Structure 1
Amino acid sequence: MEFNFIEEFNKKVKEKNIDWEVSALAAPNGNLYSLGSDSKLIGRIFELISYSILQEIAEEHGYILHPSEAQTVYPDFTLMKDEEDKEKIAVDIKTTYRNFKRNGETSGYVFTLGSYASFMRNGTKNISYPYSQYSKHYVIGFVYTRNEDASEGEVYNMDKLNEMPVPYKNVEVFVQEKYKIAGEKPGSGNTENIGSYKTNRMDYLINGEGPFSDLGIEIFEKYWSGYPKYRATEKDYTNIDEFLVFMEKKGEDVSSSKRVYELWKKLHKQ
């Protein structure tokens, strides 16, 4: 890869002074339709705004920007020199909203980072191009606070735009390589999606301080490509400690990885 994608994206956001908050959908007759706080719709808004930034980055660095042809196909966007490029860049847009404890603190941000039971296993399932052709996998992550009082489908005139309730607020955005924010558990109990490292510290996400950031991308890919499926009756491992024991029993030397992981746990107690 010829440029630093994280730096480029953050620079563009700063230069454009982007306001990620969108209040309404506009119709040709001038009517405005209010948005509710549905997470899928909000995620789509972030994706649309990000598209123009990604298109500029692609043009400036001689890349083609290829959006996914379906919601179920990874990634949301592919940056590539051409179809045969062996160093394609995957970019996924991920969103989550803040949950608050009774004391007002956030309970921790969690993202689902894509399937571990499809393209990570056979290389071509539910992915735009073969997994082996991607040299980098980035996540653009959005964290926001929902406005539970925002209703959807209400009609306003254009001159009432400033009076419309915004369905979300306090948007924070980060860009990081996927393996560096990945955790050791699925995104939810009954899906086969990689879960992010759960934390209420944005700096851990911004800097990419999940457990695999120290263990490395090879361990990340080995861990998640072999993670047991949801309905599996026998499971070789369900966390990193068990995985390292499992690999040791298979004859691999994991002594270094064990030391690295123990140190990571000490430094990231929450």
Structure 2
Amino acid sequence: MDKKVFQELLAEEVKSYKALLETPNNDWIVKGFIDVNKNIYGITNDTKVVSKVIEIILIPKLASFAERNGLVLEFPSAQNFYPDLTFKDKEGNLFAVDFKSSYYRDDKKVNGLTLGSYWGYFRDRQVKRNTDYPYDDYKCHLVLGVLYKQGVEDGKDMEVYSIDTLADIKSVIEHFIFFVQPKWKIASDQPGSGNTRNIGGVVDVDKLVNGEGTFAKYGEEVFNDYWMNYYNAADAQKAGMGKQHYHNLKTYIEYLEKMSKRLTELKK
């Protein structure tokens, strides 16, 4: 199976997930956690909690998807390993899929989306570094994106409910949007968060859904070159560079032009 076919199959599969996670009123089907005494504890809209619960719901569906398409679904052997999901076909081809979720606002901008490290396994692609397979062994690196709106908080997420009062519990998130895109197509030219070595995604919902990130028109090779050679200010200092060679796409292009000019002069 080639990467195009795999992406098309996964994108078609994901089309059904909105109906899986939403009520007819576009509210999240999850209302809280239940114990053996049938007490229901309201859930918070904390993004880490929400994303983990969403993954738990989707894993069985993705396992079924794999089986129907002659694929084996593998999970990482350690908690912090990349990717979240590895799909393997009968020929041994590997396809990486990472869950990425975030909430979006009325202006159709997401709160933020990080696309994994630009250090470690992303640079040392021939070896296993926090991965079960070398990065280059994968035919593609896809993002299964889950976007949602946060519901209006009523301050009752700490209350305890019974089965009889289930209908009284308000969903903490609503109006899901799903997408499947290659990581490079939705990446921006900025780090994802603070001083961490993460690739940032574009924040416009439509650009995420349609794969229209910063590098979309330049291609995957440009994306790889940009982020494999990107240094934040602190790392540039440690590496003895003095300052960053570039910090956005504009200065990256200027840097390449400068290097090209220098190479031309050396060849004279």
Matched, 1:114 2:119: no
Matched, 1:131 2:135: yes
2:12 match = 11
Residue ranges of structure 2 left out of the alignment (5+ in a row): 23-27, 238-242, 262-268
1:154 match = 159
* Offset, 1:99: 3.9
Q: Which amino acid aligns with 2:96?
A: A
Matched, 1:182 2:152: no
Q: Secondary structure of 1:171's match?
A: strand
* Aligned pairs (5 A) from 1:68-79: 68-79=76-87
How high is the sequence identity, in percent, across the aligned residues? Answer: 35
Alpha-carbon distance in 2 for matches of 1:227, 1:150: 43
In the superposition, the TM-score normalised over structure 2's length comes to 0.82
Q: Is the 8 A contact 2:102 2:110 kept in 1?
A: no
Tell me: CA distance 1:164–1:89, structure 2 relative to 1, closer, same or farther (3 Å).
same
Q: Is the 8 A contact 2:15 2:178 kept in 1?
A: no
- Which deviates the most, 219-228 or 22-31? 22-31
1:236 match = 245
* Offset, 1:35: 0.2
* Aligned pairs (5 A) from 1:28-47: 28-47=36-55
Residue ranges of structure 1 left out of the alignment (5+ in a row): 253-270
1:92 to 98, 102, 119: 98
Alpha-carbon distance in 2 for matches of 1:219, 1:7: 23
Matched, 1:227 2:233: no
Alpha-carbon distance in 1 for matches of 2:32, 2:232: 40
In the superposition, the TM-score normalised over structure 1's length comes to 0.82
Matched, 1:203 2:206: yes
- How many residues of Structure 1 are paired with residues of Structure 2 in the alignment? 244
Q: Is the 8 A contact 1:150 1:165 kept in 2?
A: no
- Which deviates the most, 178-187 or 43-52? 43-52
* Offset, 1:109: 5.0
Larger radius of gyration: 2
Q: Deviations over 1:166-225 (max 9, x none)?
A: 1111121111111000000001222111000232xx332222011211111111111111
Q: Is the 8 A contact 1:35 1:150 kept in 2?
A: no
2:75 match = 67
Alpha-carbon distance in 1 for matches of 2:108, 2:75: 33
